[in-house]
């Protein structure tokens, strides 16, 4: 059996120098893309989103605790929550920024999804953002409703995510997921 770095011709080819776009990050994002796509195709978008939501809830709880520990606080303020939402996405190569922040809502924009181009046509993956944002916000402020107004996964150029901090007439009239302190 030939060595994996040799060729049947007289010239040996080292596989390490081949232009194969494969490394851990691309592999994991591709894995998640295929997993989300399979779930969407087999059980439907709503149920697939539900499964991703469960994982997002656990991730949100873990990230919330990491930030609270790092800041040495028992609870994040509204300003800290807004900053944490932007920072956590920055750390995983998203490009989120605050468009608006007041006592009723935080409106975030995003120019780059952490899943990269692997999120295209996989809106179930957006439930990760919804649940992470919702669980961190609700755990610290008591309530959140996350409205995924625009998403890269759905074909928009960027994302626009509204995190309502309390029930309002505006929040009551938009589709979104509600989160409350556990």
Cα separation, 128 vs 143, whole angstroms = 18
* Mean pLDDT for the stretch of residues 85-104: 97
State how beta strands 105-110 and 143-150 pair.
Answer: unpaired
Q: Tabulate helix, strand, coil % of the chain (nearest 5).
A: 50, 15, 30
Per-residue pLDDT, 22? 84
Residue 177's closest CA among 159, 158, 163, 157?
Answer: 163
pTM of the model: 0.85
pLDDT tens by residue, 38-90: 999 999 999 999 988 899 899 999 999 999 999 999 999 999 999 999 999 99
**Euclidean distance between the first and the last CA atom of the chain, given in angstroms as a whole number:** 59
**What's the mean pLDDT when you consider all of the chain?**
92
Assigned fold of 21-180: Muramoyl-pentapeptide Carboxypeptidase; domain 2 (3.30.1380)
């Amino acid at each position: 059996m030939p060595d994996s770095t040799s060729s049947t011709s007289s010239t040996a080819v080292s596989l390490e120098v081949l232009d194969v776009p494969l490394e851990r990050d691309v592999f994991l994002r591709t894995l998640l893309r295929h997993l989300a796509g399979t779930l969407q195709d087999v059980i439907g978008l709503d149920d697939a989103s539900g499964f991703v939501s469960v994982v997002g809830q656990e991730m949100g709880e873990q990230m919330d605790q990491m930030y609270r520990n790092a800041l040495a606080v028992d609870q994040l303020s509204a300003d800290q929550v807004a900053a944490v939402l932007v920072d956590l996405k920055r750390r995983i190569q998203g490009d989120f920024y605050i468009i608006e922040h007041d006592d009723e809502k935080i409106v975030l924009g995003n120019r780059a999804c952490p899943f990269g181009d692997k999120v295209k046509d996989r809106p179930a993956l957006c439930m990760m953002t919804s649940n992470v944002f919702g669980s961190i916000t609700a755990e610290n402020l008591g309530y959140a409703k996350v409205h995924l107004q625009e998403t890269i996964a759905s074909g928009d150029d960027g994302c626009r995510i509204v995190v309502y901090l309390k029930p309002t007439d505006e929040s009551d009239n938009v589709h979104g997921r509600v989160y409350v302190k556990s």
